[in-house]
Amino acid sequence: MFELRSNPDASAKADILSGLTVALALVPEAVAFAFVAGVEPMVGLYAAFMVGLITAVFGGRPGMISGATGALAVVMVSLVAEHGVQYLFATVVLMGIIQIAAGAFKLGKFIRLVPHPVMLGFVNGLAIVIFLAQLGQFKVANEAGEMVWMHGSQLYVMLGLIALTMAIIRYLPKLTTAVPSSLVAIVTVTALVHLAGIETGTVIDFVRNMTGDVNASLSGSLPEFAIPMVPFTLETLWIILPYAFILAAIGLIESLLTLTLVDELTQTRGQGNRECVGQGMANVVTGFFGGMGGCAMIGQSMININSGGRTRLSGITAAVALLAFILFGSSLIEMIPLAALVGVMFIVVLGTFEWSSFRIMRKVPKSDAFVIVLVSAVTVVTDLAIAVLVGVIVSALRFAWEHATHMTTHTSTDKFGRKVYKLEGPLFFASTTSFLDRFDANNDPEEVIIDFAGSRVCDHSALEAIDTLAERYMKQGKHLHLRHLSDECRTLLQKAGDLVEVNVMEDPTYKVAADELGG
């Protein structure tokens, strides 16, 4: 079914150590996303474990990390608030079924429609979102229980520990690459804080601030199978179906874009349709085991890739290590300073952001530069899925407009007195008006030929335009002929049937066409 180490050049040691690093970074994010969705921290942690494990085993992109994400959590919050967590579990199961269907119907290939400027805007916006998410760690509870910004020595200690973490990650690889620098940085900063007695926030402080429970802990048990406790009625289906479709779409878009990014970083190629199925399987199982569902996580995937993780073993290690932390090592995880994890994520931000986009802004078309900025901004303001959809739509409209203006015609008169219009450029919905304006049915001779050697009939709007033009000539008692149609264009006309009434020259050679008309 799968290969544990599909990349022969990868190191099992690097995969295992990288997976441990990812597991440490997964804890606070899973808790935070659970809080955003309005569910218990364990619901987020269980999702991180199950989604991460199943996608690592069955997904289409070795080395990519999946788990509970903020993009999904912000959609879930209204469902949980209005109907309760059991409806969320049922929705996650249905979401997974939809994703499996998407993979079965080979819809993963449509990720190819995302233009490069949209990808640049996606990663830039995501880097900004990751950065902004870390700013919440610079807040502490005051005496009234309100969250306020750090100041004074508390802020300086936090910044110092972050700087130390980033320095270790940045410069340790120059000395040795035997262990991931991120893991060394987390262990070193944690040891320094506790041995030196430095006062700073830790993971357990974060959990208790999020939950408001001073006795909260990350200790837990194995997730248990349970069918979501919801009425099995059409009414329930109509409640969860819209959420399921939205969550499935967001999850697949984010996962497939992350897959594409990891492909570029590793110079390998993942399987988009297999990833759709893997994500779906993970969410179906997660819904039955009390998890909030999830998708690919670009931040953790970047940590994994930068730490040397390349194969399925790294993702499996991250998931299993996370479960081990919950079952046996919660007290150790709770000791990790937030500053260390923030430092790791800041390095991810620096590595994710496409700094080259600043350099190329003046070199690419203004429309592409606009798309990069637009997608980045929409990502920050809304979410990744909406930003990508906006970027694709704007890019498609720009493409349509540019090609609509590229249609040209060259006219001539052959020796039989027929006027020949030679088209250049595609004929589709955006260029039909320009196409029709180029013909003069009143003053043209009785026989008119449209030469499509340099053009192509693309859609139904093009067929309607041709039919409209034919009617104009017919009213004048004149004949319109089409020449040099490609096989695809002929097929399109044949399917249209009676919708288009024109004389298509069967033989594209000039001599035979002349003989047919002269006979």
Helix (H), strand (E) at residue 224? none
Average pLDDT over residues 220-228: 91
At 503 the pLDDT is: 60
Nearest to 295 by CA among 244, 258, 348, 349: 258
The mean pLDDT value for 183-210 works out to 89
Look at residue 504 in the predicted model and tell me its pLDDT: 65
What is the per-residue pLDDT for 462?
Answer: 85
Question: Confidence band (pLDDT; 50, 70, 90) for 510?
Answer: very low
- pLDDT of 493 > 80? The answer is no
| Distance in angstroms (rounded) separating the CA atoms of residues 465 and 76 | 46
For 283-293, the pLDDT digits (tens) are 999 999 999 99
Q: Which residues of 349-374 are buried (b: 16+ CB within 10 A; e: fewer)?
A: bebbbbeebeeeeeebeeebbbbbbb
What are the two backbone dihedrals, phi and then psi, of residue 211, each rounded to the nearest 5 degrees?
-90, -20
Domains, the chain, in order of start with CATH, read: 12-352 (no CATH), 408-518 (3.30.750.24)
Taking residue 105's Cβ as centre, other Cβ atoms within 10 Å add up to 10
DSSP for residue 40 = -
Q: Is the pLDDT of residue 240 over 90?
A: yes
208: number of Cβ within 10 Å: 17
**Is-contact 285 39, C-beta < 8 A?**
no
- Residue 402 CB neighbour total at 10 angstroms: 12
Output the pTM of the full model: 0.74
Q: How confident is the model at residue 349 (pLDDT cuts 50, 70, 90)?
A: confident
pLDDT digits (tens, 9 = 90+) for 49-76: 999 999 999 999 999 999 998 878 878 9
> Quick one: pLDDT at residue 518?
40
Mention every residue, 6+ apart, whose C-beta is less than 8 A from residue 308: 10, 11, 14, 15, 17, 18, 177, 180
Q: Looking at residue 411, what DSSP letter applies?
A: E
Mean pLDDT of the chain: 85
Largest alpha-carbon pair distance within the chain?
Answer: 102
CA neighbor of 150 nearest in space, from 336, 159, 214: 159
Is pLDDT of 505 > 70?
no
Percent of the chain with pLDDT over 70: 92
SS3 label, residue 410: strand
Residue 257 has pLDDT above 70, yes or no: yes
Q: How far apart are CA 339 and CA 185, in angstroms?
A: 11
Between 35-39, 234-238, 309-313, 499-503, the lowest mean confidence (pLDDT) is in 499-503
What are the two backbone dihedrals, phi and then psi, of residue 388, each rounded to the nearest 5 degrees?
-65, -45
Is 38 or 44 the better-scoring residue by pLDDT? 44
DSSP per residue over 58-87, as a string?
HSS-TT--EE--HHHHHHHHHHHHHH-HHH
- pLDDT value, residue 501: 53
